[in-house]
Amino acid sequence: MQPDKRTQTILDGFGTHFDGHATHLAIAPGRVNLIGEHTDYNDGFVLPVALDRDVRVLFRSRADRHVKLYALEFDTWADFEIGNRKPNRSQLWPNYVQGVGLELAELGVQMQGFEGVVSGNVPRGSGLSSSAALEIAAAKAFLTSAKQIHALTGPQLARAAQKAENEFVGVNCGIMDQFISTLGEEGHALLIDCRSLDYQRVPFPDGVSLVIGNTKASRSLAGSAYNERRAQCEDGVRRLKAALPEITALRDVNLEELEAHRSLLPSTVYRRCRHVVSENDRVHRTVEALERGDFRLVGQLMDASHGSLRDDYEVSSDALDKMVEAMRGHPGCLGARLTGAGFGGCAVALVQAGTEKEVREKVQEAYAKAMNLWPEVYISPPSSGARVLPLVSGGSDGRTLRG
């Protein structure tokens, strides 16, 4: 098939910066989480979907263990030997690629270098997981270059990318982002058990769609607050163990048990725990509602999730609340909530099919008026997970995509 406009731009970039032709295109999507927020690091359940926005790596293998990549949007280079454990201090993005290479080598992949061009249209800093998309696209490029594309299962690949971000980049993220980028499927959400890594593809009905609003507000508090919330959850588990010695994470606690033993918890810790425990319950109820086509209930559960994140977990913000309010202001919106770590970034709305553009216009008008800031609003169906497309002879630059 002929390359789309964006891929053609990447092909042109390869021709500018390298002699000859690329052989493969790795694509890995960003994600939006439908429901299940701050549950992943509590061994809980999440329900993300892959977006039709992605990171792409156009590449060819090398005969050595060297990686050389040019990033179109940054106009900068990554240049390192596989196995190099010294992070890049001058720019961040190469460390995601370098860290993934280290983790794949640790798993026994016979690594081979590659060179090429990186490009992404997942908005950076928005909470839609541009970093995980880069990690998974790079992992696919590494495995393809090593001729070991099937050496790891999807969960193994996601865990390797997560470990790279945790240990090499230094971001203490959960597994959800890498998992959905690897294993997403067009027309489906993905129910993930963040303890066992078991997963279930959940068909996303035709009668509803997703609208995502980027507040464009700073997420500068998200990192410190994330670590604080995580510590509060761990403190809650330690205290609850006095009455529930078998538990190892909040995933093991139900709402009745939490209420029965709330006297063991300081009030703030109790509210943090109440969000996580109730959110896990909302995830399962959302899956059941999607399966029977009860869109109204899905929307109500999303609304309840936002209220819990705002009041109990305290990770919303004025910008996110105004975005959610703007989304709910259109009758086609069935429910809306913040998505991601919070404080800034994005909210997601479930809307009736056919109203997406009207909701987008309503959000742009209402949010801009409330915040004096123009948002970005995306409409995206649940899309495919990571894949690698071979390039073959033909086309204006001598290459077309197979598959």
Please check whether the domain covering 5-203+383-401 is classified as CATH 3.30.230.10.
yes
Decide which of 217 and 183 is more confident.
183
- Average confidence (pLDDT) over 279-295: 97
SS3 71: strand
**Catalytic positions, please?**
177
φ, ψ for residue 398, nearest 5 deg: 90, 5
Task: Give the list of residues 6+ apart from residue 87 with CB closer than 8 angstroms, or none.
Answer: 95, 98, 168, 169
Report, as an integer, the average pLDDT of 4-11. 91
Parse the chain into domains and list their residue ranges. Answer: 5-203+383-401, 208-379
- Give φ, ψ of 143 to 5 degrees: -65, -40
Using CA of residue 334, residue 127, residue 125, residue 59, what is the dihedral sign?
negative
349 backbone dihedrals φ, ψ, rounded to 5°: -120, 140
Q: Is the pLDDT of residue 96 over 70?
A: yes
Q: Which two tokens stand for residue 52?
A: 């039709």
CA distances from 164 to 23, 135, 175 (A): 26, 8, 11
Question: If we measure between CA atoms, which residue out of 296, 310, 46, 333 comes closest to residue 213?
Answer: 333
Among residues 171, 228, 234, the alpha carbon closest in space to that of 43 is found at: 234
**For the ranges 4-8, 56-60, 377-381, which has the lowest average pLDDT?**
4-8
161 close to 109: Cβ distance less than 8 angstroms: no
User: Which DSSP letter does residue 196 get?
Assistant: T
Measuring CA to CA, which residue among 395, 377, 346, 390 is closest to residue 34? 346
Q: Give dist(CA 352, CA 207) in Å, integer.
A: 6
* 114-120/66-71 β-pairing: parallel
Distance CA 403, CA 388 (A): 9
| Mean pLDDT value across residues 168-197 | 94
Give 401's pLDDT tier (boundaries 50, 70, 90): low
Query: Is the CATH number of domain 208-379 1.10.287.180?
Result: no
Q: Which residues pair with 213 in a beta bridge?
A: 347, 377
How far is residue 3's CA from residue 396's CA, in Å, rounded to a whole number?
10
Structure confidence at residue 126 as a pLDDT band (50, 70, 90) = confident
Query: How many Å apart are CA 337 and CA 34, to the nearest integer?
Result: 8
**For 313-368, how does the pLDDT look when each residue is reduced to its tens digit (9 = 90+)?**
999 999 999 999 999 999 999 999 999 888 889 999 999 999 999 999 999 999 99
* pLDDT at residue 398 is higher than 60: no
Q: What is the pLDDT of residues 57-71, one digit of tens each?
A: 999 999 999 999 999
pLDDT at 182 over 90: yes
Give strand ranges (E) for 142-283. Answer: 188-193, 199-203, 208-214
Q: What percentage of residues in the chain have a pLDDT greater than 90?
A: 87
pLDDT in tens, 218-265: 766 666 788 899 999 999 999 999 999 999 999 999 999 999 999 999
Report the C-alpha gap between 133 and 385 in whole angstroms.
Answer: 10
- Reference 391, options 400, 403, 379; nearest CA is 400
What average pLDDT does the segment 134-161 reach?
Answer: 96
Question: Beta-carbon neighbour count of residue 234 at 10 Å?
Answer: 15
* pLDDT score of 315: 95
Q: Is the pLDDT of residue 402 over 70?
A: no
Running DSSP on this structure, what letter comes out for residue 6?
Answer: H
Write down the pLDDT at residue 222: 64
